[in-house]
Structure formats: C-alpha cells, structure tokens
C-alpha cells in the first residue's frame, strides 16, 4: 500500500504566517507540521510515500526531508501541482507513483491523537473501493466547514455534502482516505466545482454511488491545523499537552 501526502494550497487562512512559507512547514509543537503526517503513515506501515506540493516554497520540503530515510520512509517521491486545482487533481498527480496499488491519501494539515493503523489494516484486508475516516463533531458551526455524511437505516453512507448549511449528521469527513487504484480512472471524469477545482467529495460520492464506500470513526482528537489561525494554535496546544499518532 502506498501513501500520498498532500501539502499544497495557498494557506490563505493562515495569513500572515504563510506569506513566507508553506503552511505545512509551520511548527506544530516541536517539529514541522508535515512531519506529523509522515509519522502517521510510517507508524501505520506505509513506507512508500509521495508528497505533492506547489507554490514558491516547494523546494523547502526537499531540504527538510531529503530522501526520507531519516523518518522511516523507504521511498520518497515528490509531485508538484502547478496551480491550486483541488485535492482530487493533486491526487491525480500520483497515478504513476501508485502504479496500481491501493493508496492512502492524507491532507498534511490533519493531526490525529491516535494511530490510523486500524483503518489502514482494514483496507489492506479488503483493498477494494474506498474507505474514509470520520470524526464526531457536535458543533454545527464546525460541520459547516467540513464534508458531512448522510447515513441510511443500516448505517451506510448514502451521500456526502461539502460545507452544508444544515448538516445531516454529527460526523465530519477528515482528510484521510483509502482508495483502490480505480480512483485514477474516476478523477479524469470529474467536473470542476464552482471554484474551479476537482473536489475529493465528488470522488467519495462516486464510490458511494457504486456501493463501494466503507468508513471508520476516529477515536480521540482530530484537528485541521490549516482551518484557521485559532484552529492552528488549538492543534499546537493539544499536541504539546498530549502528543499525536499514539498507538
């Protein structure tokens, strides 16, 4: 199973901090944000990783990470997204790297308290379709910034709405997804959204329509350190007190 870490975007929600660097190079407690994502994948047994980034600070990742061996990575590749074209477009850049294997995709500003290994092992055991990680969210105001699933009576996901005005459940979709290699056939069929991007929610809804979507519910803390300045510092405070990626 291969891993793709997505570390692009303009980071506008973290201005002015991101006027001088990529947001994924900002510190979370005692190391750059990107290092927590790498640790999450490596601890889950994924040691072949592609990092996809963009913008004017892309070279700083190479300087920080090198060949990745210092961080437990066996093979580290880099991809460059020419413009902010969406998460699904960024994932599409990894098609040759993934080369027919199942893949775990993680947005590198996601920080989790506990290991993602259970999700990875579940998908390894049945590497077909898609599997996503959900997190419980009580506040509707927070859910309005996330993808929110709707469930049927049997607890299956029947659809995901991005940033809904009226959330249909108390769960948010984290930026952590597993896909089979067919995802790279799905991406070229997507239509850009109103903001001109290829949306990962459309990928997930494709798999839902095929009856090929499974999910896990994350236990413990989850934070999107790129959501806002307040969220960034809240994630920092949590990790400083409690750590992250714990088995």
Q: pLDDT-based confidence at 165, cuts 50/70/90?
A: very high
CB contact set of 153 (below 8 Å; sequence gap of 6+):
none
| 13-37 pLDDT, tens digit each | 999 989 999 999 999 999 999 999 9
Share of the chain above pLDDT 90, in %: 93
pLDDT at position 86 over 90: yes
Residues 80-107: what's their mean pLDDT? 96
* pLDDT attached to residue 122: 97
Q: Is residue 61 a part of any domain in this protein?
A: yes
| 206-235 pLDDT, tens digit each | 999 999 999 999 999 999 999 999 999 999
* pLDDT attached to residue 177: 98
Residues 37-43: what's their mean pLDDT? 98
- Number of residues in the chain: 247
CATH label of the domain that carries residue 170: 3.90.550.10
Q: pLDDT-based confidence at 9, cuts 50/70/90?
A: confident
Q: Is residue 122 a part of any domain in this protein?
A: yes
**DSSP 8-state class, residue 98:** H
* pLDDT attached to residue 224: 96
pLDDT at position 43 over 90: yes
Nearest Cα residue to 50 out of 60, 63, 65:
65
Residues 112-137: what's their mean pLDDT? 97
Q: Is residue 247 a part of any domain in this protein?
A: no
Owning domain of residue 135:
2-242
Q: Is residue 163 a part of any domain in this protein?
A: yes
* pLDDT attached to residue 123: 98
Q: Is residue 222 a part of any domain in this protein?
A: yes
* Residue 153 main-chain phi, psi, to 5 deg: -65, -25
Q: pLDDT-based confidence at 83, cuts 50/70/90?
A: confident
Indicate the burial class of 21 (C-beta count within 10 angstroms; 0-12, 13-18, 19 or more). Answer: middle
Q: Is residue 138 a part of any domain in this protein?
A: yes
| 182-193 pLDDT, tens digit each | 999 999 999 999
Number of domains the chain is built from: 1
Mean of the per-residue pLDDT values of the chain? 96
* pLDDT attached to residue 195: 87
Q: Is residue 52 a part of any domain in this protein?
A: yes
Q: Is residue 194 a part of any domain in this protein?
A: yes
């Amino acid at each position: 199973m291969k891993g793709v870490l997505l570390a692009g975007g303009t980071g506008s929600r973290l201005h002015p901090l991101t006027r001088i660097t990529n947001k994924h190079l900002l510190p979370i407690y005692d190391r750059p944000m990107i290092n927590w994502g790498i640790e999450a994948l490596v601890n889950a047994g994924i040691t072949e990783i592609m990092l996809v980034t963009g913008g004017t600070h892309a070279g700083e990742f190479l300087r920080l990470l090198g060949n990745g061996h210092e961080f437990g990575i066996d093979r580290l590749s880099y991809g460059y997204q020419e413009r902010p074209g969406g998460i699904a477009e960024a994932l599409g850049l990894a098609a040759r790297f993934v080369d027919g294997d199942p893949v775990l995709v993680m947005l590198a500003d996601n920080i989790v308290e506990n290991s993602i290994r259970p999700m990875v092992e579940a998908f390894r055991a049945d590497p077909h379709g898609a599997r996503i990680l959900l997190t419980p969210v009580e506040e509707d105001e927070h859910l309005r910034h996330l993808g929110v699933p709707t469930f049927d009576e049997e607890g299956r996901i029947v659809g995901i709405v991005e940033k809904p005005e009226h959330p249909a459940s108390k769960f948010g979709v984290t930026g952590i997804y597993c896909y089979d290699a067919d995802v790279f056939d799905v991406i070229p069929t997507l239509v850009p959204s109103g903001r001109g991007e290829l949306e990962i929610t459309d990928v997930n809804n494709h798999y839902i329509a095929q009856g090929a979507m499974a999910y896990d519910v994350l236990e413990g803390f989850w934070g999107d350190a790129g959501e806002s300045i307040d969220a960034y510092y809240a994630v920092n405070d949590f990790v400083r007190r409690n750590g992250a990626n714990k088995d």
